[in-house]
Amino acid sequence: MHPADHRRPRAVRCIGTGWPTARGQPAVRLPRMSGLKWTTAGESHGAALMGILEGLPAGLELDVGRIDAELVRRQGGYGRGGRMRIETDRVEVLSGVRLGRTIGSPLGLLVRNKDAVIDSLPVPPSPRPGHADLAGCQRMAEADPRAVLERASARETAMRVALGAAARQVLEAFGVRVFGHVVELGGVGADVQTRALAWADPERAQAARAASEFACLDSAVEERWKADVDAAKAAGETLGGVFEVVATGLPPGLGSCFDPRERLTSRLAAALMAVPAIKGVEVGMGFAAARELGSAVHDEIVPARDAEWGFGGFGRASNRAGGLEGGMTTGAPVVLRAAMKPIATLRKGIGTVAFGSGEPVQSTYQRSDVTAVPAASVVGEAMVALEFTSALLEAFGGATMELTRLNFETWRERASGL
């Protein structure tokens, strides 16, 4: 049973769509939501990180503990650096909530920094390769990497995780689940078969990820990964990897094929590429699809009774497309992968050029991680949750959760009869 079934109103009306309903009742047009808007502010070593999330319907019971739990997940993972032992991230809700429920106004969140020493930190004498330092200094015509790196730092992603944790509570009210996990580290991949747990056995997948120091579903590979991280640390090196984000329970048709900017394929890729150090994104088969014949790539449409995932009378025999066709969801799990480069701050240093003298030097080392792929999977999960929440509200959103549910149920009744 759908989680909203027990709340279905007796008189179903089509709100904001103009569709005729299956019961022959007139359509009712009410203002529709336009999706989500969000922004963050704050520096790595400033007083705090701030975030504003606009577009949440009124009436959502916001679980602040869930937000804090996601912030804790982001701080975990084998190979993290000293900053994680300093900060204890907890969110403060500044606006948009009354008596535990959203009221429709912008949600304002705050995460304080304990390591708030921005005014006492020295200006680095040279730009660090792989960071935003040099391009940012050239952009501002000023030899002060501190002004660049304080905002470019991945510390900012803590607020994105908080905003995503709030937004995903809308998705969960409609039976949608977003799950991220690490599938490769330092060139060593986890067992491919374990990935299916993310959609086939969610409870087991949740338990496996919680027990893992790498946010991984394959416990057999962890000792190898630990050894590789330890070896990289001893050598003054860093490691990258790949994480996967899976979204299940999505209705078909979210997104658009009419406007290139509204295609969910491009929106999700942009969301994941906005995570620091991400260098590549795949959907479904990804790059492997370019090496196969068409018959080995496209998912045949079959009667729903013959499909693992279906809607109405239709389903697909496979999910090579990763749950997206024509820029829209198909109803099958959306499967995304993102490749993270090794962290650019190396203990052993790397060649650069000093400001002023122009002489070759080794880059300076600042406190950093050996690897942060597990943390990046949490950030990627949050970014995907924000994008899917926005798409859901664009399609069905009303001013309140109840009106949004009414829109959704009316669409489902109509679309399932095709």
Other CB atoms within 10 A of residue 120 CB: 7
Candidates 8, 23, 94, 104; CA nearest to 393 is 104
Would residue 366 count as lying in a domain? Answer: yes
pLDDT for the residue numbered 364: 78
Question: In the structure encoding, which two tokens stand for residue 311, read together?
Answer: 């809607």
Would residue 131 count as lying in a domain? Answer: yes
pLDDT for the residue numbered 17: 43
Per residue of the chain (418 residues), give pLDDT as tens. Answer: 333 333 333 333 333 444 444 444 444 444 455 789 999 999 999 999 999 999 999 999 999 999 999 999 999 999 876 655 666 899 999 999 999 999 999 999 999 999 889 899 999 999 999 999 999 999 999 999 998 999 999 999 999 999 999 999 999 999 999 999 999 999 999 999 998 899 889 999 999 999 999 999 999 999 999 999 999 999 999 999 999 999 999 999 999 999 999 999 999 999 999 999 999 999 999 999 999 999 999 999 999 999 988 999 999 999 999 999 999 999 999 999 999 999 998 888 889 999 999 999 998 777 679 999 999 999 999 999 999 999 999 999 999 999 999 999 999 999 998 8
- pTM for the model stands at 0.91
Would residue 165 count as lying in a domain? Answer: yes
Residue 271 to residue 139: CA distance in whole angstroms:
24
Q: Is residue 338 within 8 Å of residue 376, measured between CB atoms?
A: yes
User: 250: which residues sit within 8 A by CB, 6+ positions away?
Assistant: 176, 323, 329, 331, 334, 388
The rounded radius of gyration (Å) of the Cα atoms in the chain is: 23
Question: In the structure encoding, which two tokens stand for residue 70, read together?
Answer: 């996601």
Residue 270 to residue 393: CA distance in whole angstroms:
19
pLDDT for the residue numbered 346: 86
> How many domains does the chain divide into?
1
Would residue 117 count as lying in a domain? Answer: yes
Q: Which amino acid is at 237?
A: E
Residue 308 to residue 200: CA distance in whole angstroms:
10
Residue 205 to residue 208: CA distance in whole angstroms:
5
Question: In the structure encoding, which two tokens stand for residue 273, read together?
Answer: 């590429």
Ranges of H-type helices in 174-297: 197-200, 202-210, 222-234, 264-273
User: 138: which residues sit within 8 A by CB, 6+ positions away?
Assistant: none
User: 384: which residues sit within 8 A by CB, 6+ positions away?
Assistant: 164, 178, 180, 245, 247, 268, 271, 272, 334, 336
Would residue 409 count as lying in a domain? Answer: no
Report how far Cα 283 is from the mean position of its chain's Cα atoms. Answer: 14
- From residue 30, alpha-carbon distances to 141, 203, 212, 269 in Å are 50, 39, 47, 32
Would residue 122 count as lying in a domain? Answer: yes
pLDDT for the residue numbered 18: 45
CATH number at residue 121: 3.60.150.10
Residue 297 to residue 336: CA distance in whole angstroms:
16
Other CB atoms within 10 A of residue 333 CB: 23
User: 231: which residues sit within 8 A by CB, 6+ positions away?
Assistant: none
Question: In the structure encoding, which two tokens stand for residue 150, read together?
Answer: 């304080």
Would residue 23 count as lying in a domain? Answer: no
- From residue 401, alpha-carbon distances to 62, 254, 416 in Å are 12, 18, 22
Would residue 271 count as lying in a domain? Answer: yes
Q: Which residues pair with 244 in a beta bridge?
A: 181, 337
User: 40: which residues sit within 8 A by CB, 6+ positions away?
Assistant: 49, 50, 51, 156, 159, 160, 163
- Expressed as residue numbers, the domain containing 200 is 33-284+321-396
pLDDT for the residue numbered 187: 97
Candidates 22, 412, 19, 407; CA nearest to 251 is 412
Backbone angles phi, psi at 52, to 5 degrees: -130, 130
- Sign of the alpha-carbon torsion through 308, 309, 314, 319: negative
